[in-house]
Structures are given as C-alpha cells and as structure tokens.
Structure 1
Amino acid sequence: MQKERLLSLDVFRGFTILLMTIVNNPGSWAHIYPPLKHAEWHGCTPTDLVFPFFIFIMGTAIPFAMPAKHLDFAVFNKILVRSLRIFCLGLFLNFFSRIEVFSLEGIPLLMVRLLITFAVAYALLGNFTLKIKTYLVFLIFGGLLFLAYSRIPAFDEVRIPGVLQRIGIVYFFASLLYLTSNLKTQILVVAAILLVYWGLMALVPVPGFGEANFEKGTNLAAWIDNLLLNGHLWASSKTWDPEGILSTLPAISTGILGMFVGQILNLQISKSDIVIKMAVVGISMVVVGLLWSTAFPLNKSLWTSSYVVYTAGLATICLLILYYLIDVLNIKKWTKLFLIWGVNPMIVFFFSGIIPRALSAIKIENPIVAEEKISLQKFIYDFNIVPLFDNPLNASLFYAVSYAVFWSFILWILYKNKLIFKV
C-alpha cells in the first residue's frame, strides 16, 4: 500500500523538471546566460544540479511509493518492468531522428516517426496489467537493442546511454536495496560505491593513455565507454558519454542518498525534529562534498564522488526549505504551478525531447537566403523572436521560457482532467 504523497516532494520535482525544460531548450545554444550552462568540465553551475536533483527526488520517493519491505518475484518484476519502461523511453528518443521508412522524407517521414512515437509512448505509459506491461517492455527493449546492433546504416551510431536510461538503472538498484536492507547497510553501500569509484578513477592506469586522470576523454570512465559502447556514444564526444557505464555507479549513490532522506521524512517523530535532522544531513553533505572536491573535483560528466555528496546535500537543503514552508507552515497557495509539473514528469521528459526534434525535421525556405532550407525551430526563433530583443541572450531565454509556458498549459489541462501518466 502506497503511503500518502508528500506535497513538498512533488513541488520540488516540478521545479526541477521546469528548470530542466528551460535549460534544455534555449533559442540558441550560442547565447545562454552562464547559470543556464553546464560547467565546461570541472565545476558545478545551477544547471549541473538539475539531473542529480531529479535522481535524488526519485530516491526520496521510493520509501513513500514502495509497499512494506518485502521482495518476492511479483515485486521484483514490477520494479524491473518500471525500470525498463523508463530506460526504453530514453532509448527511443535517441532513435527518433534516425527512423527511416522506405524512401519517405520531409513531412511524410515526420508523420510516420510521430505515429511510431505515439505507439511507443502508449505502450510504455499506458495503464495496462503488469503482464501486458512486461510483454510490451521486453518487446520494445529487445527490438531497440536489436536495431542498434543490426548493422542497419541508420542505426549504426545511435546512442545507447542517456538521461532516462540512467534514471531507470538507478531506480532498479535503489529500489532493490531499499527492500532488502536496513538504513545502516544502505549508508555502507553508498560509502563503498563512492570510495571504490574514487579509487578506480584516481589510481587505475588508463590503457592507451597512461596514468589515471580526471581529464576529458582520457580517464578510465571514458576508456570503458569507448571499449563497451564504441559507436553508440554521445554524438558530441564520440569516444565517451556523460551518462556512461562507470559513472552510472556513483549515480546510483545519488538515488540511495535521496532514499535515505526519504526515510528521514517517514520517521515517526515530530516535523520539527525531521527539519533538524534534514538540516544536519544536508549541511554535512555539502561540507563533505566541498572538502572531497579538493582531491576529486566536482564534475557532472564524471559524476564524481564529491559531486554526488555535494549535490545530494544541496538537494536535501532545498527539499528541507520546501518541506518547512509547505508541510510545516502549511503555506501552499503558490505551489500549483510546480505541482502540475511534478505529478507528470515522464510526459515532459519524453515529449519535451520529441517536439524539438520534430521542429528541426520540418524544413522551410529561408526568407533571406534563396533556395536555402532551415528548420521550423530556427525560423520561429530567428525571424519571430530575435527581432524583438536587442540582447541575443534575452531572446534565447525568452524562447526557452515560452517553451516552458507552452508545457505549463499542456500540464494544466492534464492535471485538471486528472490525467497522470506513470511508468
């Protein structure tokens, strides 16, 4: 039986997804305000908090969503199916723009891609029985992996890792750990993962590159990515992936730390005592993360151990503030906007990635350069938004915020009609 939802957690999730939508959809990647950029390599900007915050929130929700601590085949299968559904949503995003059907191109091809997309989304987000969900997700998972390694030219370099893929993996392992261990064991697992990862990255020589290092493309995590997923990595790097194999290990720790805080929120103690415990935990993790960063730098792409502890500490403090305002002081009138974002995160994650891909696939004539085709997204931005602003940074931000407003309208309709899509 599910425990009662925590409003502050839904609001925190909603704020995180809203920020994700804004930072992922600027009008121009060449014109972004610094706080809305990822750190070039080492370091941590506000944008670098979005992904770990979401994983932390997912972990925090596990003690609220899980039944009594009991793991049998039915529960295991439910966890596995949910993890694979999340994984497949992310994997399909990487396939979308590569789908080819006979000799179709332009709008006809886009329409076919969208039809396939809605079919996949329905299969992965539809409210079926667990048995049907299991059949569908294994069919889609197996089909996508088969295509990725089928030697079909269109899919030769399709990316396998991704944000949703990592979320699915973290959910699987964190959930199993929650159901099979106590709090002490969970803390020991986190410590072991983070220390082992630090040791691997700092001490193990990298074949072909020499000494262990934390640099871009030459570290152990990059070498493993290129060895095991060669040709199926992030297009911007080709030889390593920010959501790669080895760096997913510490990401699991982010989920477990969120799960730890979720268990604090479930303690049968007064709300004021919960606030004190969360404050101590949050501040302690921030301090430990910053101290650790002197030896193992904060780095999102490597998901370094210091980054795990530091971002989990900040997430705890943010959730603490929201918990105090909403659940202790009962100040809730301002929460509606974030709530509508927080209860339907997978719809936003998936379709907010599909829409830009669809807009980029629609080509129209450039009003300035004859016989040149540009994407509909570029046309909307360059010829309808940029002229309104003197500062290109403001134009780019306006486009991103407008896209978030568009999604707010969609999510409001879903919320009013009580349509909540869960994996």
Structure 2
Amino acid sequence: MVFVNCGGGGYWFFEHASWNGLTVADLVMPWFVFIIGTSVALAFYAMMKRGVSRIQLFRKLTWRTMILLVIGFCFLNYGPADGPLSWSWARIPGVLQRLGFTYFIVASMQTCFSIKDIDGYQFDTWWASVRDIVLYWPEWIIVVILELLWLCLTFLLPVPGCPRGYLGPGGIGDDGKYPNCTGGAAGYIDKWLLGEDHMYHHPTCKEMYKTTQPFDPEGTLGTINSIVLAFFGLQAGKIILMYRQQPLSILKRFLIWAVLLGFISAILTKCTQNEGFIPINKNLWSLSFVTTLSCFSFVLLGIMFYVIDVKKWWGGQPFIFPGMNSILIYVASSLLGTYFPFRWEMKYATSHAEPLFQHLLATSLWVLIAYLFYKKKFFLKI
C-alpha cells in the first residue's frame, strides 16, 4: 500500500512517488510542515509569556513570511545555467513559498486565538480532558472550513474536458481517457490563477504516465491541506504545553491522535493504493495524504519526546546543528547540492551502494558545515 516504484532505477525510494502511494522521499516535507505547527505553538506561547504583544507577533510572522517567499521565489527558482531570472518563465509556487504561506496562516491563527494563561484551565470543568481542543474552537472552525473548501473544489468544481472529481495523473493513465486532466481541479486552478508558464513542467508523473500538462506539486489547492497538516502539528504543540507536567498524558494523546488519523486514512483509501475514495497522493496533498502523514508525525514526535525529553537518552546531536541554521542549510544545499563533493556523476547509478554513499556523504557534509557554524556562533535568523 505505502511504497511504490516511481519509475526510476537504483535507489527508487529516494524519488517521489509517480502519483498515488508513498516513498521515503514523500515523508520529508510533511514532517517539516507538521513541526512548523508544533514550533509555532511552543515559540508563540513563550513569547507571549515574556510580554510580547499580539501586534508584535503579527509583525514578526509577517516579516518571516515575506523573507521565505522572497528566498523561495528569487533564489531557488532557477539555476545558474538559466541566466537572469525572467518573469516570463519563473515558477511562482515552490517549497519555501508553501512553507511560508502555511506558516503565515497557522501563526496568524495562533496569534489571534492563543491563550496566555493555559495553566488556569486545569481540572475544574467537565471538558478539562479535551481542553486542548475546546479552548481553541475558533481555530478548529477555520480549519474545518478550509478542508470543506478543498473537498468542494476538488470534487465539485467543473473542469473542462475532465470528469468531475478526477484525481488521476492524466496522460496514459486511466487507459488514456483523460490525457489533459493531470491533477483534475488542482491543475486546472493553478493554470487559471498562475498560468502554465509559471508552473512546474516536470512533475513526477511525466515519465511514467507520459503527461504533457504542467502540474505543480506545491500548487494552490494542495496548500490548503498543507495548512491542515501544520494545524495537526500545532495541536501537538498545545498538548505538550497543556500537559507538560504529565509526560504520560502527552504520549497517550499522541497515540490517540495517531490511531484516529490512521483510521481515517484507512477509510479514505480502503487500505489500497489506487482504489480508495481519496488515495494517498503527495502531488495533490490529498486529505488521506495529510491524515496518513499526520499519523506518522504524531508517532515520530511521541518517540522523540519519550527518548529526548522523558528518558533523556539522546540530546538530538548532531541533527540539532542544522536545525539552528535551517534556512541557511536548506538554501545552500538547494543551490550547491548538485555540485561536487555533494554529488557527482555515478558510475553505477542503478546500484544501491553508490547512491546510498553519495546521499550519506552529502548529508554528513551539511551536518559538519552546520556544526562549524554553531562553533563560530553564526546563526542566520529571519
């Protein structure tokens, strides 16, 4: 159900799934999105406790969002071989653009509806056991509305030449019946809003399904569900804050959320790759993709919380060092990651050993670079 060959050779699970299904590569960005929400809950609570006003928080989050959008658009949009950046072909969506917009919405919600004195809501009410949900009911209403919007646009929006609610890759998929319908409503909305010249022209489905249409995996409609995924991370942060004196309660609630979201995923997908109501699809950031990756994230965060915070078996080294300069390392690796010594032309690209060695060496080098920045006390913050 989960792992599918994406049409490449060698270490295929380093690549994204061609359409439905998951590979290891598909797990990375959703984890970042989830942790954005968790970090917002913890960081904004700490700042409010220090007396930072909501207006100051909004200014700060707006500035961070603008910086992320500018970096994503201007620095990660093209390579040196492309020449000067031109608006005529520049891709508007992107990873940092999605992260920035997701952060803006989630952080804005937390700024408007956060509660400074959460310790005042303990066990004196009938809803104390679910206070991490009840106290933030306006945020839940916003997220439910966003998800309803995604569902309505995805399944009810008429797309010319395509069946309503189409979630397929187009091209030769579905026996070639809908060659120009890649992504259904998601692709159609991006073409209408952004224009084909400003979208991604090499989606993961292109090789396997012989598609001819541009499709952006960081497009408009998928960003709605990116916000929903970050909101589940925000919920995890609230659990940590409200039950920080009760580690067992935190772990129990993480487990409950993981089971609930996993059960929803099983229903949506019918425990299959392609035959469910809403298949798991990273390109579309489908609802089942969000619930599945949120389930995984709650489990992973629970394990890390137990190992690092409860048992104190591990302090996070050496991976805490890239985290201290995350934007710098991300941008640098995106710009320089295709050059030696981070990558080279492999003699045995279809083998397992050489690609694995290349990825491990590149990761180790970036961790080392981050550690050197840490030793020099150089931190790039936005």
TM over 0.5: yes
Q: Which amino acid aligns with 2:77?
A: N
Indicate the residue corresponding to 2:30 in structure 1. 52
Q: How does 1:362-381 map to 2 (within 5 A)?
A: 381=344
The answer to whether 1:270 aligns with 2:250 is no
Indicate the residue corresponding to 2:328 in structure 1. 347
1:44 Cα offset (Å): 1.8
CA distance in 2, matches of 1:239, 1:208: 16
Q: CA RMSD in A?
A: 2.5
More helix by share: 1
User: Which runs of 5 or more residues in structure 2 are unaligned?
Assistant: 1-6, 114-134, 170-181, 204-212, 270-275
Give the 3-state SS of the residue equivalent to 2:48 in structure 1: coil
Indicate the residue corresponding to 2:308 in structure 1. 326
Higher relative contact order (CA 8 A, sep 6+): 1
Indicate the residue corresponding to 1:227 in structure 2. 192
Aligned counterpart for 2:317 among listed residues 336, 349, 371: 336
Count of aligned positions: 321
CA distance in 1, matches of 2:163, 2:189: 14
Indicate the residue corresponding to 1:254 in structure 2. 229
The answer to whether 1:204 aligns with 2:163 is no
Indicate the residue corresponding to 2:273 in structure 1. none
The answer to whether 1:279 aligns with 2:255 is yes
CA distance in 2, matches of 1:99, 1:347: 22
Q: For structure 1, which segment, 247-256 or 183-192, has the greater mean C-alpha deviation from structure 2 after superposition?
A: 183-192
**TM-score for both structures, normalised by structure 2:** 0.77
Q: For structure 1, which segment, 390-399 or 178-187, has the greater mean C-alpha deviation from structure 2 after superposition?
A: 390-399
1:34 Cα offset (Å): 3.3
Indicate the residue corresponding to 1:42 in structure 2. 20
Q: How does 1:56-75 map to 2 (within 5 A)?
A: 56-66=34-44, 67-68=47-48, 72-75=54-57
CA distance in 2, matches of 1:397, 1:206: 42
CA distance in 2, matches of 1:178, 1:213: 34
* Percent of residue pairs bearing the same amino acid type: 26
Change (3 A) 1:352 1:414: same
Maintained 8 Å contact 2:13/2:24: yes
Q: Which amino acid aligns with 2:266?
A: L
Aligned counterpart for 1:396 among listed residues 349, 355, 362: 355
1:272 Cα offset (Å): 1.3
Q: How does 1:288-303 map to 2 (within 5 A)?
A: 288-293=264-269, 294-303=276-285
Indicate the residue corresponding to 1:143 in structure 2. none
1:261 Cα offset (Å): 0.6
Give the 3-state SS of the residue equivalent to 2:158 in structure 1: coil
1:68 Cα offset (Å): 2.2
CA distance in 2, matches of 1:161, 1:197: 18
Indicate the residue corresponding to 2:80 in structure 1. 97
Indicate the residue corresponding to 2:143 in structure 1. 190
CA distance in 2, matches of 1:305, 1:337: 34
Indicate the residue corresponding to 1:84 in structure 2. 66
Cα deviations across residues 376-396 of structure 1 (Å, max 9, x unaligned)?
789x733xx52xx69633212
1:95 Cα offset (Å): 3.8
CA distance in 1, matches of 2:252, 2:67: 37
CA distance in 1, matches of 2:350, 2:69: 39
Give the 3-state SS of the residue equivalent to 1:239 in structure 2: coil
CA distance in 2, matches of 1:397, 1:187: 42
1:271 Cα offset (Å): 1.1
CA distance in 1, matches of 2:328, 2:310: 30
User: Which runs of 5 or more residues in structure 1 are unaligned?
Assistant: 1-28, 102-146, 148-153, 360-375
1:213 Cα offset (Å): 0.5
Change (3 A) 1:404 1:390: closer
CA distance in 1, matches of 2:58, 2:190: 28
CA distance in 2, matches of 1:214, 1:273: 39
Maintained 8 Å contact 2:19/2:283: yes
Q: Which amino acid aligns with 1:62?
A: V
Maintained 8 Å contact 1:59/1:262: yes
Change (3 A) 1:409 1:218: closer
Indicate the residue corresponding to 1:171 in structure 2. 103
Maintained 8 Å contact 2:9/2:350: no
Give the 3-state SS of the residue equivalent to 2:278 in structure 1: coil
